[in-house]
Amino acid sequence: MASRTNDFPPAAAETLATDLRQRIQGEVRFDHGSRALYATDGSNYRQVPIGVVVPQNREDIIETMAVCREHQAPVLARGGGTSLAGQCCNTAVIMDMSKYLRQVLELDPEHRRARVEPGCVLDDLRDEAEQHHLTFGPDPSTHDHNSLGGMIGNNSCGVHSIMAGRTADNVNALEILTYDGLRLWVGPTSEEKLEQIIRTGGRQGEIYSGLKAIRDKYADLIRQRYPKIPRRVSGYNLDELLPENGFNVARALVGTEGTCVTVLQADLCLIPSPPSRTVVVLGYPDVYTAGDHIPQILDYAPIGLEGMDNLLLKYMKKEHMYPKGRALLPEGGGWLLVEFGGETKAEADEKAKRLMQALKQSDNPPNMKLFDDPEEEERIWKIRKAGLGATAHLRGEEDTWPGWEDAAVSPEKVGPYLRDFRQLLKRYHYDCSLYGHFGDGCIHVRIDFDLITKEGIKNFKAFTHDAAELVLSYGGSLSGEHGDGQARADLLPKMYGEELIQAFREFKILWDPLNRMNPGKVVDPYPRDSNLRLGADFRPPTLKTVFAFSEDDGSFSKASLRCVGVGECRRNHQGVMCPSYMATKEEMHSTRGRARLLYEMIYGMTHEDAPLTAGWKSKAVYDSLDLCLSCKGCLSDCPVDVDMATYKAEFNYHHFQGRLRPRVAYSMGGIYEASRLAALAPWAVNFFSQTPVFSHVVKFAAGIAQERRLPRFAPQTFKRWYQQRPHRPRNSGGHKVLLWPDTFNNHLHPEILVAAVEVLEAGGFQVIVPTPALCCGRPLYAWGMLDKAKKRLTHLLDALTPEVSQGVPIVGLEPSCVAAFRDELIKLFPKDDRARRISQQTFMLGEFLAQQKNYEPPLLHRKAVVHAHCHHHAVIGLEGEKQILERMGLQYHWLDSGCCGMAGPFGFEADHYELSLKIGERVLLPAVRAAEKDTLIITDGFACQEQITQTTDRSALNLSQILLMALREGQRGTRGAYPERKW
């Protein structure tokens, strides 16, 4: 086999890039930033690619392969890039299929088949199939953002593989492309058809002749050595070439991890999707006892059977994760989640009850709980799915890593295997939680490997050797879901023996004689302790930062490693994270992509051969962060709490040291000062900002998009109104509440704050407003003006401490300002008790009112559409607001609309206007336009309100205004007309 190399000369790469640009329609990216962006996947490994191609169509893939063949450049097809074994990084030309090639090409419900492009997201297919009560069976936890091409490459499985099998079991046929340009459909092949293909000759005849020879030569050994277990994912699927399996070439190629061919499109099987589901949770004394009972439970034909241990729950408790879900679990030290399906809920329940009845009659029955409430079922599943997030980064503990995360045994051997595996972990002084797909015998772990010292790496290598010996002693597989890649491939001889390894080699050579398809993975692999992303030479610099990064031991370098590559930020179906990715489908504009570039930036500070060596001045990092909306969605939606808004603020602080920022940074970042000046003569400012001729000049000078309308300043600020208000404060005997007069509402929408005063006073509270001019500095963070922001916050700490020290709560109406109190304040002042106290005593209005036992909101019998500000969702939480709306009797629809796209100043900026609209048009703006005219539109954020007002014919109201509306309607009904207050 031709040798592989980690090097491809820069001059050759430049010529290759030039030829590619001339011959394909897609995007060709050989710049340093793109190469850094794709240097790793979700694994421990790092290899900088030659370059990246983003094909627009199948012809682009074919032409890319042809150009690479002319230049003898290795090739790697990539989908979601979530692989945990290193199979999605290589010194190769990476073809990212996920941006354009993501269509469901055909759905045939009658024959239960679907044809898809390789970049098609699994849930896109499942959503279409569910319209016909069908689904694609394998469903890994990344189902809402992974690609089907990646699942085919990896032979993915998931929760429901006990009813559906692996991806290989659900593939009808594949259209493939070889490195030497052969394009053909492959699938099951009868003996007659096989002989016909061989007689026809040519490249296809040569391949099929070779495949037949491999089958005939190794058939007995394949039958003997291949584990007879549900989750054998390691190695090539040579068993699919056996006569009893129909010489299925497509299924033989599933799981080859891009080392043999590239998939152009796939014909897939669909299976019936049980419309009703029921979950039973079983609590056992420990996870080992739970494992012992797997065979008994499988007799009752569940469609999902997952397990988890008490350590997982302990870690979740430590990280304050899912307390409501944890409280639902029955007593125990190890749990099994058993899911049943049926045509009706009654049918699913009956299956569950049959199992429970049988278990009750057994010796030492487990504690049992049946869940019929969909919300409770969702909470239970979130606990199981949170395994990675709960175990990756633990406060006060060593970080954990993949590397031995998905070994599999026969389901009846789970209990004994887990006991022996725990003893092996203890021998190496490792610790980890045990969880996974117990019904298929697949165990997931993340282990606290030391991958940064020579001794630690030596132990890692020794442990994985012994772990392989252990799982093979149980007749298991090194991998039961995530594949071999580089993490386990050099252990495959232990599993299969040298003869079958030679069969793998012959199989690969048939398809890829030059070894240019993802070389060094699976066959003739790189050693598992080479190409480590960390490694013994990893010496990140100690960087002085403004933010404390307390969650990462005060280290920005460690924070850059927080991302585990699972790619939740690449989803397009729900949640807030990541709005720029949802709009662009670009890896560099995902949270993961930005985290990867920040890591590469830091890596380049100590490695001259790295693609990024400019440090804080890196243009590639700046360009990636430029489209980050600082929405903080990743702070809540990311399973490991990557905080890109903070990373962006820190980066921009250093990036612009000694440099001028764009003019929009000063105009929008200085909104506090500008508003105070405008308050002196608001009519004059409005004249210039609202008159077309002058407003064009103002917007150009400020870097604001001409398409945007500048907000009007109120004729009187809220604070001026409050100071001139007679008989203040009212309710002098009531509990004090400090109402925060944020810059936006104080100067632009004071009626929102006035409404809050009336609502709070109607609730019996004494409302006070701070006298000094204060600002949380929110608009300064994104542009890295952190020195100025800290000065503002220092002033704020001094001014608010007297009231806060007396226990007075702070109530805010602008989520971004409340979030600054709850989040940035303590990240900038981590050792200041005043900051901690203010953070703990600051609330959104709805959150505050929901906590008051004696407060009963007024009724309002109206319909409403509700959109949550990103910071409200990510930092504060929405439960309080939902409780208040519920108690008001409002018929509301809470939109899963993510970010509105305005995101503070982001949507006003000229360079971001089009993206801002694209994000808003994803869900929010169409939903607002579709709402009936008498339906209320509710959102608390100034930016969200502006986006709605400027792009639809509707206006949105703050919760304070909704509550005031309810108060007035109630008072009209009892005491006549309540006077409308005109502003």
Q: Which of 482, 384, 472 is nearest to 421 (CA)?
A: 472
Q: Where are the alpha helices (DSSP H) in 24-164?
A: 32-37, 58-71, 122-130, 148-154, 161-164
b/e per residue 703-723 (b: at least 16 CB within 10 A): bbbeebebbebbeebbbebbe
- For the stretch 912-939, pLDDT in tens is 999 999 999 999 999 999 999 999 999 9
Return all residues near 691 (Cβ < 8 A) that are at least 6 apart: none
Q: Report the alpha-carbon distance of residue 489 to residue 901 in Å, rounded.
A: 44
The confidence score (pLDDT) of residue 408 equals 98
C-alpha torsion sign, points 654, 657, 660, 663 = positive
Residue 312 gets which letter from DSSP?
H
Q: Report the alpha-carbon distance of residue 404 to residue 467 in Å, rounded.
A: 8
974 pLDDT higher than 70: no
| In contact, 477 and 471? CB cutoff 8 Å | yes
978 pLDDT higher than 90: no
Q: What percent of the chain lies above the pLDDT cut of 90?
A: 91
The confidence score (pLDDT) of residue 979 equals 35
Token match 């009724």: residue? 859
The confidence score (pLDDT) of residue 6 equals 58
For the entire predicted model, the pTM comes to 0.94
Q: Report the alpha-carbon distance of residue 368 to residue 283 in Å, rounded.
A: 6
The confidence score (pLDDT) of residue 975 equals 33
| In contact, 563 and 596? CB cutoff 8 Å | yes
Mind spelling out the 3-state secondary structure of 140-190? CCCCCCCEHHHHHHHCCCECCHHHHCCHHHHEEEEEEECCCCCEEEECCCC
Return all residues near 523 (Cβ < 8 A) that are at least 6 apart: 1, 259, 489, 501, 504, 505, 508
- Dig out the tokens for 126 from the structure: 């499942």
Q: Where are the alpha helices (DSSP H) in 806-899?
A: 815-819, 825-828, 833-840, 845-850, 870-871, 879-887
Q: What mean pLDDT value characterizes the chain?
A: 94
Give the mean pLDDT of 314-323. 83
3-state SS assignment for residue 870: helix
Q: Which of 314, 351, 321, 353 is nearest to 335 (CA)?
A: 314
Q: Report the alpha-carbon distance of residue 823 to residue 357 in Å, rounded.
A: 49
Amino acid at 369: K
Q: Which of 24, 31, 27, 64 is nearest to 49 (CA)?
A: 31
Q: Is 450 exposed, middle or buried (0-12, 13-18, 19+ CB in 10 A)?
A: middle
The confidence score (pLDDT) of residue 912 equals 96
* Beta-carbon count within 10 A of 975 CB: 8
- For the stretch 39-97, pLDDT in tens is 999 999 999 999 999 999 999 999 999 999 999 999 999 999 999 999 999 999 999 99
- For the stretch 851-864, pLDDT in tens is 999 899 999 999 99
976 pLDDT higher than 70: no
363 pLDDT higher than 60: yes
Q: Report the alpha-carbon distance of residue 488 to residue 234 in Å, rounded.
A: 8
Q: Which of 710, 780, 773 is nearest to 743 (CA)?
A: 773
3-state SS assignment for residue 17: helix
Confidence of residue 972 (pLDDT cuts 50, 70, 90): low
| In contact, 30 and 71? CB cutoff 8 Å | no
Q: Is 171 exposed, middle or buried (0-12, 13-18, 19+ CB in 10 A)?
A: buried
Mind spelling out the 3-state secondary structure of 228-243? CCCCCCCCCCHHHHCH
Confidence of residue 980 (pLDDT cuts 50, 70, 90): very low
Q: Which of 475, 598, 453, 595 is nearest to 538 (CA)?
A: 453
Q: What percent of the chain lies above the pLDDT cut of 70?
A: 98
Instruction: Order across the sheet with 367-371: list the strands.
Output: 367-371, 276-284, 334-342, 304-309, 435-437, 442-444
| In contact, 449 and 326? CB cutoff 8 Å | no
Identify the weakest region by mean pLDDT among 331-340, 402-411, 968-977.
968-977
b/e per residue 649-663 (b: at least 16 CB within 10 A): bbbbbbbbeeeeeee
The distance of Cα 548 from the centroid of its chain, to the nearest Å, equals: 24
Measured CA distances, 894 to 734, 878, 969 (Å): 33, 10, 23
| In contact, 481 and 454? CB cutoff 8 Å | no
- For the stretch 427-477, pLDDT in tens is 999 999 999 999 999 999 999 999 999 999 999 999 999 999 999 999 999
Question: For the chain, first and last CA: distance in Å?
Answer: 80
- Dig out the tokens for 659 from the structure: 């440099």
The confidence score (pLDDT) of residue 5 equals 47
Give the mean pLDDT of 780-793. 96
Angle, in degrees to the nearest 10, between helices 644-655 and 591-604: 40
- Dig out the tokens for 245 from the structure: 């399996």
| In contact, 908 and 918? CB cutoff 8 Å | no
Token match 């099929």: residue? 208
Give the mean pLDDT of 171-194. 98
Q: Which of 561, 315, 340 is nearest to 452 (CA)?
A: 561
Token match 């044809």: residue? 115
Give the mean pLDDT of 494-518. 98
Amino acid at 948: I
Q: Which of 880, 881, 893, 856 is nearest to 967 (CA)?
A: 856
4 pLDDT higher than 70: no
Token match 């919300």: residue? 375
The confidence score (pLDDT) of residue 325 equals 85
3-state SS assignment for residue 542: coil
Return all residues near 844 (Cβ < 8 A) that are at least 6 apart: 811, 812, 813, 815, 818, 872, 876, 880, 881, 940, 959
Residue 366 gets which letter from DSSP?
P
Identify the weakest region by mean pLDDT among 36-50, 145-159, 722-736.
722-736
| In contact, 278 and 347? CB cutoff 8 Å | no
700 pLDDT higher than 50: yes
- Dig out the tokens for 106 from the structure: 């055909």
Q: Report the alpha-carbon distance of residue 135 to residue 123 in Å, rounded.
A: 9
- For the stretch 669-697, pLDDT in tens is 999 999 999 999 999 999 999 999 999 99
| In contact, 803 and 774? CB cutoff 8 Å | no
b/e per residue 209-233 (b: at least 16 CB within 10 A): bbbbebbeebbeebeebbbebbbbb
| In contact, 637 and 644? CB cutoff 8 Å | no
981 pLDDT higher than 80: no
The distance of Cα 254 from the centroid of its chain, to the nearest Å, equals: 26
Query: φ and ψ at 315, to 5 degrees?
Result: -65, -40
2 pLDDT higher than 90: no
Residue with the bigger pLDDT between 4 and 218: it is 218
Give the mean pLDDT of 341-365. 94
The confidence score (pLDDT) of residue 407 equals 97
Measured CA distances, 499 to 3, 259, 590 (Å): 21, 19, 44
The confidence score (pLDDT) of residue 391 equals 82
Q: Report the alpha-carbon distance of residue 487 to residue 296 in Å, rounded.
A: 34
